[in-house]
Amino acid sequence: MAILEPVIGRTIKRKISTMSGKKLPFIAGHKLLYTCNLRCDMCPFWRRKDEKLLSLEEEIKMMDSLASAGVSFMGFEGGEPLLRNDLEDILKESHKRFHTSLVTNGWLLKGRASSISRYLDYLFVSIDGRKETHDKQRGVPSSFDHAIEGIKEAKKYVPVAMSTTITTNNMDDIKYVVNLAEELGIGVNIQVSYDYSTADKLSPDRKKLYDLLLDLKKMKEDGAPIVNSKEYFDTLVNSWYYGIPWACKPWSTVNIDPQGRIVMPCYVLNEYAGEKKVWEIDIKELWNTYDWKPYESCNKCSLSCYLEPSIFSWRKPSMVSERIFGSIADYIASIF
């Protein structure tokens, strides 16, 4: 029952603290490594060489520091997390403290789905389009087949969603991905490619993207298993096409690089470069002395981990129903 105290209890405590004006993170993202077995066009991270990775003891120190700061949700990613032989041990420790999720490319998933799922509350598997589109964008043949096999196995044990990045190469396949998710009985989370300085520039055509975002919102409203909120698509359209900005709250999410260093101010603007190790600083003090103001008006990315918590409101019944009560109901259903 890892969700009860960490997620509900700490979320309530955090809400009380933030009512007084304090800034505290409640979502954490941690790249376990940069190394990957795929070569995705739009990703800068597999191009980096890993330094010495954190030991299990250091991972635990990191988690304890994040829990003390009020974090309730922990998401692991890479690189490819399944390349770490100690992944189950890391997830086990996380599951004691947080609502825990993982993002994988799915290549190694089938063989480890059972062992990792016992410590996961949610699993995301990257799918970019039809087999040919996916394999080309991922840079390795048979990537699609491995991922689909992994999804079919993993959904036996844990809630699963596809994670899809819209690029100029796969725009015509996005609706296919949504339909595929429906056929497989899983969800799909959709984001728009960000042009990192050290990756291929694949941001999609502006006009085609506009039409696609509206179509995806309509599919969501019609019952498609899209994880993103309806407000997510509205916000992107309003910001990128009509000049109506959304106020980013980068302090809601803390990202940790493979060496345990905090990435400031956010995932994209600093391109995942960290300086100070989590357990060597007071996160609460840093969060409330750092100058966040310059970044509140940044509408450059569409990352769900920043946009969704930034636009969430208790005054929007549909968001509360889907994000809070829906998530808890899904969790309870998954343990019976």
Reported as a single tens digit per residue, the pLDDT across 165-184 is 999 999 999 999 999 999 99
CB atoms within 10 A of CB 157: 16
pLDDT digits (tens, 9 = 90+) for 66-92: 999 999 999 999 999 999 999 999 999
Residue pLDDT, tens place only, 182-221: 999 999 999 999 988 888 889 999 999 999 999 999 999 9
pTM for the whole structure? 0.88
pLDDT of residue 8: 53
| pLDDT at residue 270 in the model | 84
Kindly list the strands in the beta sheet with 122-126, ordered across the sheet, starting from the edge strand earlier in the chain.
187-192, 160-166, 122-126, 99-104, 73-77, 27-31, 253-256, 261-263, 274-277
Type of residue found at 181: A
pLDDT confidence of residue 188:
98
pLDDT band per the 50, 70, 90 thresholds, residue 121: very high
Residue 316 pLDDT level (bands cut at 50, 70, 90): low
Q: Would you state the CATH architecture of domain 4-334?
A: Alpha-Beta Barrel (3.20)
* CB burial string 196-229: b at 16+ within 10 A, e below: beebbebebeeeebeebbeebbebbeeebbbbbb
d(C-alpha 83, C-alpha 278), whole Å: 23
Does the pLDDT of residue 241 top 70, yes or no?
A: yes
Work out the burial of residue 324: count CB atoms within 10 Å of its CB; fewer than 13 is exposed, 13-18 middle, 19 or more buried: middle
